Amino acid sequence: MSEQIEKVKCLIIGSGPAGYTAAIYASRANLYPVLYQGTQPGGQLTTTNEVENFPGYPDGVTGPEMMMQFQAQAQRFGTDVRDGWITKVDFSGDIHKVWVNDEKEIHCETVIISTGASAKYLGLESEQKYLKLGGGVSACAVCDGFFYRGQEVVLVGAGDSACEEAHYLSNICKKVTMLVRRDVFRASKIMAERVKKTENIEILYNMNTVEVLGDGQVVTGVKAKSNKTGEVIDIPATGFFVAIGHTPNTKIFKDYLNLDETGYIVNVPDSSKTNVPGVFVSGDAADHVYRQAVTAAGTGCMAALDAERYLAAKHG
Ligand code: NDP
């Protein structure tokens, strides 16, 4: 016998700052939200070490600790937080259908999408090979840096993430070589300066990664080529960290929602509304500009308020 279809007033997909803030507001407004955490409970912040720019934490807080507090706050007001991955949606009708782990079907009056974004890789064959082998390629210094303590690593990227990760690794590793593809950082000045001042970080400008070198099992180095002089160098390293940006996690919505050319959900300006009534978006899934925990939290609040107003208008 098939499981009875569950009906919920407000389903929240994702457990980063956007999802949990939506959950806090939605539960306090008696929308009885159900929140599915996805494959990375707590979202991207769980891979961040120190968060120093979220208001209310004058001494900073670790990403995982902050997310535990977000979760506790949402649960305090009754949010039903569940493990599970939303694998399919059908937004063609008035009631929005979603499937959890390809099995459980839920019918939702409102859906708040807070699925965030995922790390990008270079796409080199050698990079993917050692990534799959678990042999020394990572997109998360905070998750994996510990394995390289006292060793030499290479990191590619020049944004705030790359600087944050390089700085984090410099406290664990003997040496961090940063490969910057242009002759400038994209990162904010303060983050770039911190990296430049760190003794065991060597910055190589105008460098492209050609190949991740290895012995078939683990990484042993990185081949890089100067896009100015053509010089090719081999850098000895046991770890290769990629910090070159993110892709929004919006694939399952593409048949129903308007996405921009890079896959970010297009919201109605000044709101969290999507092109489908009753489906709202918050956080990095729709934001390629600000991408901060605090802006994600702000849009989570907007999504819950918009969902509440939508339901009020629908039911009178
Ligand atoms: P960004 O898009 O800002 O930066 C990506 C970096 O990777 C750029 O320097 C880019 O180079 C480089 N890059 C991209 N593709 C390649 C490639 N194929 N080969 C080599 N290099 C490549 O992403 P981030 O993840 O760093 O940051 C995203 C957002 O999050 C930003 O708004 C940032 O400010 C914010 N953030 C804030 C933090 C904080 O305040 N604590 C921490 C982390 C992120 P190029 O410059 O040449 O394009």
Per-residue pLDDT of the chain (316 residues; tens, 9 = 90+): 456 899 999 999 999 999 999 999 999 999 999 999 988 888 877 766 677 889 999 999 988 899 999 999 999 999 999 999 999 999 999 999 999 999 999 999 999 999 999 889 999 999 999 998 889 999 888 878 988 999 999 999 999 889 999 999 999 999 999 999 999 999 999 999 999 999 999 999 999 999 999 999 999 999 999 999 999 999 999 999 999 988 999 999 999 999 999 899 999 999 999 999 999 999 999 998 787 899 999 999 999 999 999 999 999 7
Q: What pLDDT, on a 0 to 100 scale, did the predictor assign at position 142?
A: 80
- Distance from the CA of 1 to the center of ligand 1, in angstroms? 50
Q: Can you list the domains of the chain with their CATH numbers?
A: 2-118+247-315 (3.50.50.60), 121-242 (3.50.50.60)
Percent helix / strand / coil, the chain, rounded to 5: 30, 30, 40
10 is an active site residue: no
- Distance from the CA of 212 to the center of ligand 1, in angstroms? 20
Q: What pLDDT, on a 0 to 100 scale, did the predictor assign at position 214?
A: 98
According to DSSP, the β-strands at 207-214 and 117-119 are unpaired
Task: Write down the pTM of the prediction.
Answer: 0.76
Residue ID of nearest Cα to ligand 1 atom 40: 160
Q: What pLDDT, on a 0 to 100 scale, did the predictor assign at position 132?
A: 87
- How many CB atoms sit inside 10 A of residue 294's CB? 14
The residues lining ligand 1, judged by C-beta closer than 6 Å to any ligand atom, are 53, 122, 156-162, 164, 181-182, 186, 244-246, 291
Residue ID of nearest Cα to ligand 1 atom 39: 160
Q: What pLDDT, on a 0 to 100 scale, did the predictor assign at position 47?
A: 64
Cα dihedral across residues 11, 15, 18, 24: positive or negative: positive
Residue ID of nearest Cα to ligand 1 atom 23: 245
- Distance from the CA of 156 to the center of ligand 1, in angstroms? 10
Q: What pLDDT, on a 0 to 100 scale, did the predictor assign at position 288?
A: 82
Catalytic residue from among 108, 144, 287, 306 = 144
Q: What pLDDT, on a 0 to 100 scale, did the predictor assign at position 1?
A: 42
Q: Which two tokens stand for residue 186?
A: 């994209």
Residue ID of nearest Cα to ligand 1 atom 14: 244
Q: What pLDDT, on a 0 to 100 scale, did the predictor assign at position 22?
A: 98
Catalytic residue from among 59, 83, 108, 140 = 140
**CA gyration radius for the chain?**
21
- Distance from the CA of 200 to the center of ligand 1, in angstroms? 21
143 is an active site residue: yes
144 is an active site residue: yes
The DSSP output letter for 264 is P
- Distance from the CA of 2 to the center of ligand 1, in angstroms? 46
Catalytic residue from among 102, 143, 183, 260 = 143
